[in-house]
Structures are given as structure tokens and as C-alpha cells.
């Protein structure tokens, strides 16, 4: 048997795709979460839903570490596109993670994690490269899984893979004004979510390699509250299962 890989999904729809690839598994209930053990491409896989927001995601990750001791951790979910050119349906693989709502100033510089001496945490380089490769492979055929009307409704004609900074906070960003403010403050941020940087911090504490891969569900603008649920309903469930299968086959 290969390594133990933890896969945290943000969405039930995404987790369903993964669990379908690992038949016969049994969940273990801890801290109100269901941890699913299974096997995929010769690896032991532990699949769990993160919960929404930084605290829920950090609790999930800490329980995973203590109970299952994974050797690597992958997060899959959706995110709001922040940078120009990061469109709905694109995939962002996080090379670094920052909590945009962390602010212990003036005691520490804005965004710095107190006690860590830095504001950004890096993805594991090998896992980043692997997920980029899996995303590049998957993006070629993912839109073909959708019917043409859905593809057109979401403009999913030539989706792209990006690697770069993901920012995280306990806020669903749903106005263009806030998105622009985040972009102005945190140059080079590609996408915003509510969990990745929290999971990155727990992985850092435990010394476990981490990387997050996020499909863009909305542009974190005034349309986000409409685009986000529509994307979850109609598109997201087709995305992560196969991409993860490709990733684990490459591991
Ligand atoms: N996840 C998906 N879209 C998001 C947004 N607009 N803000 C925060 N998290 C998100």
C-alpha cells in the first residue's frame, strides 16, 4: 500500500464524486464529521468535508492529523476569482496561502500570523506540481462532461489552469468593491476562499505537505451570490472526482 492521502472537500457534490471511486468504505464519526477511508490507485485515502470557514476547516484538519496521520493533504473546492483573467470555470492551484482577515496590527504587521514571522505559507512544491499536472490534464475534457447549454450559460469554452496565491477569510466576498479592495491590497492574489489558508496553517504545524486546488465558481463580485449556487448545482460535481483520480494516479 502507498501513502495515506487526506482529501478534504469543501462541497458534498465534490465529495460524492470521490466516494463513488472508492466503493465499500465506512465512515468514522469524529467531532461531528464523517471520515471516509478507502483506496484509490494503491493509496489509502481519507476523505472528509471541511465545513465552511477557517475554524471549521482547521478543526477538520487537526482531527485528521491526530486520528489518521496522513502523509499528504489535498484540498478541493471552489473559490471566487480575484485577479484579471481568472474566469469562472478556471482552476487555481494554490502556490501560497494568506489570511486576508488576519490583522494583529500594530503588534504585528498586517496579515502576519502571530508567532510564525510571516503572512504567507507555501504549498508543498511536489504536490503543487502534481496538482498542476492533474488540473492541466483534466481541464482539457472537463467542460465536455457538461451539456452544451450549461457550458454556454457559464461561458466554459476555454478554461485555464493558474498557479498562484490564494487568500482566505471568514467572509463570502460578494461585491466588486470588496474584491477590488482585496486585489489592491494583496497584489497577485488569484482567488479568494474561506478555508485554504487555515488548512495550510494546520498542515504547517504538523509538517504535512499541503496543496489546494480550487475551481472558480464566481468572480467575487456583485453577481457572486447568484453565480456561486448555480455553479455548485450545475458544474462543481463534475470537476473534482476525476481530477483527483488523475492526481492520485500520478502520485
Ligand atoms: N468561495 C467561492 N466563492 C467565494 C467568494 N466569492 N468569497 C469567498 N469564498 C468563496
Q: Are 19 and 25 in contact (CB under 8 A)?
A: yes
The answer to whether the CB of 231 is under 6 A from ligand 1 is: no
Question: Is there a domain that residue 163 lies in?
Answer: yes
Grid cell listed for 184: 489592491
Pocket of ligand 1, candidates 57, 97, 218, 231: which has the most ligand atoms within 8 Å of its Cβ, to mutate? 218
| Closest to 228 measured CA to CA, from 188, 158, 173 | 173
| Closest to 92 measured CA to CA, from 33, 46, 132, 141 | 132
Pocket of ligand 1, candidates 77, 176, 193: which has the most ligand atoms within 8 Å of its Cβ, to mutate? 193
Q: How many CB atoms lie within 10 A of CB 145?
A: 14
Centroid of ligand 1 to alpha carbon of 11 (angstroms): 13
Question: Is there a domain that residue 25 lies in?
Answer: no
CA-CA distance, 105 to 121, in Å (whole number)?
19
The answer to whether the CB of 78 is under 6 A from ligand 1 is: yes
Q: What is the mean pLDDT of the chain?
A: 93
Q: Tell me: the pLDDT tens digits for 195-232?
A: 999 999 999 999 999 999 999 999 999 999 998 888 88
- Whether 23 shows a pLDDT value over 90: the answer reads no
Centroid of ligand 1 to alpha carbon of 232 (angstroms): 12
Question: Is there a domain that residue 71 lies in?
Answer: no
CATH number at 127 reads 3.40.50.1580
- Whether 1 shows a pLDDT value over 70: the answer reads no
Average pLDDT over residues 108-133: 97
- Whether 242 shows a pLDDT value over 90: the answer reads no
**Count: domains in the chain:** 1
The answer to whether the CB of 172 is under 6 A from ligand 1 is: yes
Reported as a pLDDT band with limits 50, 70 and 90, residue 140 is confident
Q: Tell me: the pLDDT tens digits for 153-196?
A: 888 888 999 999 999 999 999 999 999 999 999 989 999 999 99
- Whether 7 shows a pLDDT value over 70: the answer reads yes
The answer to whether the CB of 192 is under 6 A from ligand 1 is: yes
Least confidently predicted of 72-76, 101-105, 141-145: 141-145
Reported as a pLDDT band with limits 50, 70 and 90, residue 6 is very high
| Closest to 170 measured CA to CA, from 56, 25, 19, 5 | 56
Please enumerate, as own/partner, the contacts of 148-153 that have beta carbons within 8 Å and a separation of 24 or more.
150/234, 150/235, 153/230, 153/234
Please name the residue whose Cα sits nearest to atom 1 of ligand 1: 79
43-49 vs 33-40, strand pairing mode: antiparallel
Pocket of ligand 1, candidates 90, 224, 235: which has the most ligand atoms within 8 Å of its Cβ, to mutate? 224
pLDDT at position 117: 97
Reported as a pLDDT band with limits 50, 70 and 90, residue 21 is confident
CA-CA distance, 123 to 136, in Å (whole number)?
18
Catalytic residues: 14, 218
CA-CA distance, 113 to 108, in Å (whole number)?
8
Question: Is there a domain that residue 99 lies in?
Answer: yes
pLDDT at position 237: 76
Question: Is there a domain that residue 26 lies in?
Answer: no
Give the largest CA-CA distance in the chain.
53
Centroid of ligand 1 to alpha carbon of 25 (angstroms): 31
Residue 220 DSSP class: S
Higher pLDDT: 16 or 35? It is 35
| Closest to 248 measured CA to CA, from 63, 89, 10, 39 | 39
The answer to whether the CB of 79 is under 6 A from ligand 1 is: yes
- Whether 27 shows a pLDDT value over 80: the answer reads yes
Residue 100's domain comprises 76-250
Question: Is there a domain that residue 15 lies in?
Answer: no
Higher pLDDT: 224 or 18? It is 224
Q: Tell me: the pLDDT tens digits for 37-93?
A: 999 988 999 999 999 999 999 999 999 999 999 999 999 999 999 999 999 999 999
| Closest to 77 measured CA to CA, from 141, 18, 27 | 18
Question: Is there a domain that residue 241 lies in?
Answer: yes
Centroid of ligand 1 to alpha carbon of 3 (angstroms): 31
Residue 175 DSSP class: -
Centroid of ligand 1 to alpha carbon of 87 (angstroms): 13
- Whether 241 shows a pLDDT value over 80: the answer reads no
Question: Is there a domain that residue 58 lies in?
Answer: no
Percent over 90 (pLDDT), the chain: 71
The CA radius of gyration of the chain, in Å to the nearest whole number, is 17
**What percentage of the chain's residues is helix, strand, coil (to nearest 5)?**
40, 30, 30
List, as one string, the DSSP characters of 59-83. Answer: HHHHHHHHHH--SEEEEEEEEEE-S
pLDDT at position 244: 86
Amino acid at each position: 500500500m502507498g501513502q495515506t492521502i487526506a482529501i478534504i472537500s469543501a462541497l458534498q457534490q465534490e465529495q460524492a464524486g470521490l466516494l463513488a471511486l472508492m466503493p465499500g468504505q465506512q465512515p468514522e464519526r469524529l467531532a461531528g464529521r464523517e471520515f471516509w477511508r478507502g483506496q484509490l490507485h494503491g493509496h489509502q485515502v481519507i476523505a472528509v468535508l471541511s465545513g465552511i470557514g477557517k475554524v471549521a476547516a482547521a478543526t477538520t484538519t487537526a482531527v485528521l492529523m491526530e486520528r489518521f496521520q496522513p502523509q499528504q493533504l489535498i484540498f478541493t473546492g471552489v473559490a471566487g476569482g480575484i485577479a484579471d483573467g481568472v474566469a469562472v470555470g478556471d482552476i487555481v492551484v494554490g502556490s501560497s496561502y494568506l489570511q486576508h482577515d488576519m490583522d494583529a496590527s500594530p503588534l504585528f504587521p498586517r496579515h502576519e500570523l502571530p508567532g510564525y514571522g510571516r503572512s504567507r505559507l507555501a504549498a508543498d512544491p511536489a504536490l503543487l506540481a502534481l496538482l498542476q499536472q492533474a488540473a492541466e490534464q483534466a481541464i482539457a475534457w472537463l467542460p465536455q462532461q457538461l451539456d452544451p447549454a450549461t457550458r454556454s450559460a457559464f461561458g466554459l469554452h476555454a478554461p485555464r489552469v493558474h498557479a498562484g496565491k490564494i487568500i482566505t477569510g471568514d467572509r463570502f466576498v460578494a461585491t466588486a468593491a470588496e474584491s477590488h479592495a482585496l486585489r489592491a491590497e494583496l497584489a497577485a492574489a488569484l482567488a479568494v476562499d474561506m478555508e485554504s489558508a487555515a488548512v495550510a496553517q494546520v498542515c504547517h504545524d504538523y509538517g504535512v505537505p499541503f496543496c489546494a486546488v480550487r475551481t472558480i465558481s464566481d468572480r467575487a463580485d456583485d453577481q457572486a451570490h447568484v453565480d456561486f449556487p448555480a455553479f455548485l448545482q450545475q458544474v462543481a460535481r463534475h470537476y473534482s472526482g476525476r481530477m483527483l483520480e488523475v492526481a492520485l494516479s500520478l502520485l
